[in-house]
Structure 1
Amino acid sequence: LIGGLCDLLPLLHLPPSSMANSISNTYLTTPTKTPSSKRNKQSQSQMQSLSQNPVSSESRSRFEAYNRLQAAAVAFGEKLPIPEIVAIGGQSDGKSSLLEALLGFRFNVREVEMGTRRPLILQMVHDLSALEPRCRFQDEDSEEYGSPIVSATAVADVIRSRTEALLKKTKTAVSPKPIVMRAEYAHCPNLTIIDTPGFVLKAKKGEPETTPEEILSMVKTLASPPHRILLFLQQSSVEWCSSLWLDAVREIDSSFRRTIVVVSKFDNRLKEFSDRGEVDRYLSASGYLGENTRPYFVALPKDRSTVSNEEFRRQIAQVDTDVVKHLREGVKGGFDEEKFRSYVGFGSLRDFLESELQKRYKEAAPATLALLEQRCSEVTDDMLRMDTKIQATSDVAHLRKAAMLYTASISNHVGALIDGAANPAPEQWGKTTEEERGESGIGSWPGVSVDIKPPNAVLKLYGGAAFERVIHEFRCAAYSIECPPVSREKVANILLAHAGRGGGRGVTEASAEIARTAARSWLAPLLDTACDRLAFVLG
C-alpha cells in the first residue's frame, strides 16, 4: 500500500490554480443530440482543447491521484482524509436517479438500491475516448480492478451479488464495507461520490427490525469525518418543517458548512407557484437551512422506459430547459434569476459538484502530501529493520538466541493463560464444553451413559479456566459410574497369597491390591480421556 502511495506523491505535487473558475466548460455542458458529423468535429475539438489546457490536465492528474489513493485506502483498510462526497437521503428521494444522471447512462441502480445494504463508491472519470461507458469493479480484497463491464444489467447484478455474498458471510443486515466502481465515459464529469443506502422507516420483509437504525448509524459514521462533503437529497413535496431526515443531517453537520442540499423532483412543485414572491421565498428556503445555505433544485426525466444513453442525456437537458422556462414564463413576474438561476437545474448542480471537489482536492493536497511522506518514512524504517533481521539469519548464534527468546515468550504466554487472563477476549477465543468435545474429536466419557454437564459448560473459556473445568468434568464422570464387582476368585487369590506371610498387614495389603486392580479397570479409560481433553485445552 505505502509503496503505491509513494508513487502518487509526484501526481499531487501540482502547481496551485483556481480550479473552481477554470474547469473546462467543453465537457461540463449537458450533451445534446447533434448530427454525427457535427458531433465528431466537436469531439475532436474538445480533445484538442483538453490536451492544450494545462489546468484541465492538472485537475485530471490530481483527480486520478486521489482516485488511486481512495482505491488503496479501501483495499487495505487505511483511513486517509481524502475529500469525498457522501450522498445521503431517504430511499424515495431520487438519489438513485441523480447518480444515473451524473453518470450519463442508466444501470438500473434504482432496483439495486431497494436491495443493497452496502455503500457504493462511484469513481466517475471523464474520458473523451470512451464513447460507451466502461465500468470496472475493484476487487473485494485488493486495489486491482476487474475487466470492463459494458452491459448495464451486468453492473446491477455485480452490485447485488457482492452485497448478498458479504452479508451472508458476515451474517449482518448492513455492512459499511464499500463496493468501488470506476466508470469511464465521455459524458460523465470527473467526480467521486459515495452512495449510501437510503434511509427507511421500516425494515423490509425478511430483514431484522433493527435495519433502519443500523442504516442510520452507518450513514452517520460515513458522513461524520470532516473531510467529507454531504450531498443531502429531499424531494420537493416534503416541507422543511416536516422533513424526516433533516434532523439527522443536523446531528452530523449542525451549521451545514459542508452540506450541499438538493431538492429533488422539483418539477412536482412548479404548478404550486403563482407569483414571483412565492417562488423566491421557496427557493431561498429561509428559516430552515440558515442564511448561508442555498439548496439546488433538480428535476430529472420521469420516463423509466428503455432509451439510448444519448436520448437519456437529451431528456435530462430538456427537463432543465423546461423547468427554467416555466419559472420564467409560467410564474407571474418570473423569479430572481440573478440570485437563484445558478441553483436551478441538474446542470448547475453537476458543474458545482465537480468544481467544488476539485477545489477541495487542491486545498487538501498539502496535508495529504505530508501524511503520505510520513507513511513512506515509516515504511522505509520498517524495511531497514527487516533488512537487518534478514541479514542476521546467516548468523547461527543469532538464530539460536532468537529461537530461545521466542520459545521463552511462548512459555510465558502459556503460563499467563493457565494462571488466568482476560486478554485475548475469551468471547472470541474461548470454547464451550460442547465446542471442546466437538473440535477435539473426543466425544462422551467411556463407560458413562449420562450426559455430563459441568458447571459453566456454556461459557467460552480457555487456559487455566478451561483446564479446571475439564478436571471438574472428569470428577463428575468418575462419580457417575459404579465400581465393578470383584469376583470371589480374585479376592481369594490375593488373600491366600498374603496369608502365608504372617502378620496383620496381609489383609490390608490384599485389600489395597484389590482396590488398585479394580481402579485400573474402570478409571484408566476415564483418565486417558481426561488427558486427551486437557492436552487439547493446553494446545
Structure 2
Amino acid sequence: MLQNSEDTGNKNPQPRLQVDKEQQESVSQVKSLVSVWRKLEMEEQWRLYEAYNELHGLAQELKTPFDAPAVLVVGHQTDGKSALVEGLMGFQFNHVGGGTKTRRPITLHMKYDPECEVPTCHLVSDDDPSFAQEKSLHEIQAYIESENMRLEKESFQFSAKEIIIRVEYKHCPNLTIIDTPGLIAPAPGRKNQALQSQGRAVESLVRAKMQHKEFIILCLEDCSDWSNATTRRVVMQIDPELSRTIVVSTKLDTRIPQFARSSDVEVFLSPPAHTLDGFILGDSPFFTSVPSGRVGSGHDSVYSSNDEFKQAISLREVEDIASLEEKLCRPLSMQERNRIGVSKLRSFLEELLQKRYMDSVPLIIPLLEKEYRTATRKLNEINKELSTLDEVKLKEKGRKFHDLFITKLSLLLKGTVVAPPDKFGETLQDERSNGGAFVGTDGLQFPLKLIPHSHCFTERNIGNATIMVCDNEMIEVVLDCKARELLRVCLVGRAWTFDSQSLNIPRNAGMRLYGGAQYHRAMAEFRFVVGGTKCPQITREEIVNACGVEDIHDGTNYSRTACVIAVAKARDTFEPFLHQLGCRLLYVLKRLLPISVYLLQKDGEYLSGHDVFLKRVDSAFSNFAESTERACREKCMEDLESTTRYVTWSLHNKNRAGLRQFLDSFGGTEQSAMGVNPISASLESSMVSAASEKHDNRPRADVKLSHLASGIDSSSAVQTTETRLADLLDKTLWNRRLAPSSERIVYGLVQQIFHGIREYFLASAELKFNCFLLMPVVDKLPALLLQDLESAFVDDLDNVFDITNLRHSFSQRKLETEMDLKRIKRLKEKFRLINEQLTLHQLKAVSIE
C-alpha cells in the first residue's frame, strides 16, 4: 500500500511538469508574437513618419501646401524655447541662452530607435533636399553658427528657409518639430531702433510659418499670471480661437516658490476659461521644467552624458509634482499629473501628431496625384520648348508674340477692365509722384484737394490777386476767363458749389486708372492747370526796361512794350509745362508694357524663358516712345516759339471787349474828378468817327446838319476830340514818365496778349500730342517694332533668343523636373501602401470586435 502510494506520488508530478512546460512554451510564443507584432507595428510607424518627413521636405522645396503635420514651437527669447526642444528630443544639440541663437527655423525630423545609443543626425542639403549628409552634433552646431553669422551681415538678417535635420535616437519621440527664432520684445526709443527692426522681422517670419493650417502651434509662456499674454498675443493673430494651439508654461521649477497661497497655485494650474480666451488643444496648459546645465566633459559641464540629462528631466518632474502637492496641501489628480512634465507633453504631442498623420493619409494621395500630373505636364512643356529651339520656329514665335503684344497694347488704349486696377491702376497722386507733376514758375503744384468732384469756394478780390477760400482754408486760385466769368455769374461774395465738369477739373483724381483712361486724365489735368494759369506779376522796372529807345524818336511805344513783356512771360511760363506734359504722357505710355505682359501671361500667350527677346521688345518700345515724345515736343516748341516771337493781333488779342472794358474802368476813374469824359471813350469816339467818315458817303453838309440837329456844335466836338487825343499822346507817346494810366495800359495789353498765347498754346499742345505721340503708338509702332525684330533675326538670331543659354537652362529644368517626378512617384507609392495597411488594420479591428 505504501509502495503504491509512493508510486502514485511519484507519477503525479510528471504530468504537472509537462503542463507547466507547455504553458511556459505557449507564454513564450505569445510573447514572441507580441514582440514581432510590436516590431511590425513600430516598422509601420517608422515608414509612416519617414513618408511624412519626406513629404514635409517636398512641400518646402516645391512650395506646395501638402498637409504635412508638424509641431511649430513659438516663444520669446527668454521663454526657455530651445531648452524645451532639447528636453523633448532627449539630448542637447544647440546653444541655449539669451539673445538670437538661430536666424533660420530648424526643422527636426525625430525618429524613435531603441537600438540607437547615441543620436544619429543627418543634415539635409539646401541645394538638393533628397540628399542628407550625416553630421556630428558639433558639426551641426558649427553649421547653425555659420548661418547665423552669414545672415547677421546681410540686410535681411532672418531667413524663412528651414534648416532640416533628421535625428534617430533611443530617447527621441516620433515627432517633427520646427524651432522658430525667438520673438523679441525690444524697449521703445530711438536707441533701440535696430532691435525693434529685428523684432518686426522675426514676428513676420513666425507669423508666416503659423499660417500653415496643418501645423500644431506650441505656444510658450514664461509667466505666473495667465492674464499676461506675451506670446499668445502673436499666436492669436493667426489662430484667434487657439483651436490648433497648445499652451505651455515653462520654467515651472522657478515659478512654484513665487506662490504664497495654495489658491494662487490652483488658479495657475487650472486657469478660468475666460482667461485663455479660446479652446486650446488639451483643454488646459502644460507645465514643464528643464534642468539647467550642459552635457559634456568640460569643467563647466553638469552632465557627462545625454542619459544623465534624460534622468535629470525625469527627476525634475517628480520634484515639481512633490512641490506642487506641498503647496496645495493635497495630492494632485491624475488629470493634473498628465499636464506636468516634459514626458507628458511629449506623449501628448506624439499621440496628437500620430492621429493627424493617420487622418491625413487618405487626403495626401490625391494631392500627390495632382502634383504628379502637374510635374508631368511641366516636363512635357519643357520637352516641347526644347524641340522648338530652331531658327524657323523661333522666328515664328517672335512674330506671333509681336502681333499679340500689339493687340494687348491697342486694347489698353481703347479701354479694358481685364487688368486689375488695384494692381496696375494709379490715382492722380500716384501718377504725380511717379511721372511728375505740373509745376508753374512759382514752383507750386495745383492743390490736389481741388481736383476732386466739387468743393465750396468763396471769392475775395484784393488788388490784382483773386483770393479764394476753399473748404474753410485760404488759398490763391487762378482761373481762366471762362471759369471766372462762370463764377461771377454765380453768387460772387458768397459760398457756392460748382461742378468740376464745368471747369474741366478731372473728377476721377481718386480713381486707379491705366491705359487710355490715364492718358485722358493726364491731358485733362494739363488743360485745367494751364488753362487757369495767369500772367505773372509785372513790375515797373520790367516796363521801363522794355520801353527802351526808339530808332526814330525819343518817345515810347507802349504796344511794343506790352508785346515784349507778354511774349517773354508767356515763353517762361508755358515752356516748362510743355516738358512736364511730355514727361507725364511718356510715363503713362511706358506703363502699358508691363500691363500688356500681364495680359499675355493671363491668356497663356507669354514667352516664358525668353528673357533676352523680351528685353529686346521692351527696349524697342521704350526707344520708340521716347523718340516719338521728343519729336512731338519739338513740334510743340516750334509753335510756342512762333507765338512768342511775333505778335499777331488777330490771334493774340481776341478779347477786345475785355480790353475796352478794362480801359473804360481806369479811364473813368482818373477823369471823373475833372468832369471830363474818359480818355478811352474819347479815343473810342474818335475811332468811331473815323470809321464813320470812311464808310459814310453822305456829304459834309449832311454831317453838319446832323450835329446841329442833335444840339452839338461840330467845331467844339472836333476841338474836344483833338484835345483829348493830344492829351492821350502826351501821356502815352511823347512823355517817358511812366504814369499810372500808362502802366495800367501796358498791364492790360500784356494780359490780353498773354491770354491769347495761352489759349493757342493749350489747343496746339493738346492737338499735337494726340496726333504725334498717341496716334503713332497706334499706327506706326507695329510696323517699326516688327522691322526692328526682323533686322535682329537676320543679324544675330542666336543672341536675340540666347539659344545656347536657353538650351542649357531648359536641360537643367528638365533634369530637376525628372528628379521631382521620381520623388513624387516614390512618395505616392509609399502613402498608397501605408493607406492599404491602415485600412487592413481597421478591418481586422472591426472583425475582432
Instruction: With the length of structure 1 as denominator, give the TM-score of the two structures.
Output: 0.64
CA shift in 2, pair 1:84/1:151, >3 Å: closer
CA shift in 2, pair 1:403/1:184, >3 Å: same
Aligned partner of 1:194 among 164, 178, 182: 178
Give, in angstroms, the shift of residue 256 of structure 1.
1.7
Give, in angstroms, the shift of residue 399 of structure 1.
6.6
Aligned partner of 1:155 among 140, 158, 166: 140
- 8 A contact 1:87–1:231 mirrored in 2: yes
- 8 A contact 1:275–1:334 mirrored in 2: no
Q: 463-472 or 210-219, which moves further after superposition?
A: 463-472
1:232-271 correspondence runs (5 A): 232-237=219-224, 239-271=225-257
Query: 1:157 is matched by which residue type in structure 2?
Result: A
**Does 2:304 align with 1:319?**
no
Query: 2:61 is matched by which residue type in structure 1?
Result: A
Separation (CA, whole Å) in 2 of partners of 1:66 and 1:210: 36
Q: State the secondary structure of the residue aligned to 1:109.
A: coil
**Does 2:289 align with 1:299?**
yes
Separation (CA, whole Å) in 2 of partners of 1:248 and 1:205: 21
Query: Partner of 2:351 in structure 1?
Result: 355
Separation (CA, whole Å) in 1 of partners of 2:398 and 2:211: 46
Give, in angstroms, the shift of residue 155 of structure 1.
1.6
Separation (CA, whole Å) in 2 of partners of 1:50 and 1:300: 35
Residues 478-505 of structure 1 show CA distances to partners (whole Å, capped at 9, x for unaligned) of: xxxxxxxxxxxxxxxxxxxxxxxxxxxx
1:27-426 correspondence runs (5 A): 49=35, 52-110=38-96, 114-152=100-138, 154-165=139-150, 171-202=155-186, 207=194, 209-237=196-224, 239-273=225-259, 277-286=263-272, 287-289=274-276, 290=278, 293-304=283-294, 305-306=300-301, 307=303, 308-328=305-325, 330-381=326-377, 402-412=393-403
Q: State the secondary structure of the residue aligned to 2:73.
A: strand
Separation (CA, whole Å) in 2 of partners of 1:389 and 1:332: 74
Give, in angstroms, the shift of residue 113 of structure 1.
6.4
Q: State the secondary structure of the residue aligned to 2:323.
A: helix
CA shift in 2, pair 1:233/1:114, >3 Å: same
CA shift in 2, pair 1:50/1:348, >3 Å: farther
Separation (CA, whole Å) in 2 of partners of 1:415 and 1:164: 50
Query: Partner of 1:487 in structure 2?
Result: none
Separation (CA, whole Å) in 1 of partners of 2:407 and 2:141: 52
Choose between structure 1 and 2: higher helix proportion.
2
CA shift in 2, pair 1:297/1:385, >3 Å: same
Aligned partner of 2:622 among 462, 465, 478: 465
CA shift in 2, pair 1:126/1:467, >3 Å: farther
Residues 95-115 of structure 1 show CA distances to partners (whole Å, capped at 9, x for unaligned) of: 010111122221233269614
CA shift in 2, pair 1:73/1:469, >3 Å: same
- 8 A contact 1:50–1:57 mirrored in 2: no
Query: Partner of 1:28 in structure 2?
Result: none
CA shift in 2, pair 1:325/1:166, >3 Å: same
| Count of aligned pairs between the two proteins | 408
- 8 A contact 1:236–1:266 mirrored in 2: no
CA shift in 2, pair 1:337/1:129, >3 Å: same
- 8 A contact 2:186–2:192 mirrored in 1: no
- 8 A contact 2:104–2:160 mirrored in 1: yes
Separation (CA, whole Å) in 2 of partners of 1:380 and 1:106: 43
Give, in angstroms, the shift of residue 301 of structure 1.
0.3
Query: 2:313 is matched by which residue type in structure 1?
Result: I
Give, in angstroms, the shift of residue 410 of structure 1.
4.8
Structure 1: unaligned runs, 5 residues or longer:
1-44, 426-453, 477-530
Structure with higher Rg: it is 2
CA shift in 2, pair 1:75/1:382, >3 Å: closer
Give, in angstroms, the shift of residue 327 of structure 1.
2.2
Q: State the secondary structure of the residue aligned to 2:394.
A: helix
Identical-residue share of aligned pairs (%): 28
- 8 A contact 2:86–2:93 mirrored in 1: yes
Q: State the secondary structure of the residue aligned to 1:261.
A: strand
- 8 A contact 1:85–1:231 mirrored in 2: yes
Separation (CA, whole Å) in 2 of partners of 1:402 and 1:111: 63
CA shift in 2, pair 1:148/1:474, >3 Å: farther
- 8 A contact 2:80–2:251 mirrored in 1: yes
Query: 2:286 is matched by which residue type in structure 1?
Result: Y
Query: Partner of 1:510 in structure 2?
Result: none
| CA RMSD across the alignment | 4.5
Query: 2:184 is matched by which residue type in structure 1?
Result: V
Query: Partner of 2:654 in structure 1?
Result: none
Give, in angstroms, the shift of residue 318 of structure 1.
1.2
Separation (CA, whole Å) in 2 of partners of 1:250 and 1:358: 25
Give, in angstroms, the shift of residue 335 of structure 1.
4.3
Instruction: With the length of structure 2 as denominator, give the TM-score of the two structures.
Output: 0.42
Q: State the secondary structure of the residue aligned to 1:242.
A: coil
Q: State the secondary structure of the residue aligned to 2:133.
A: coil
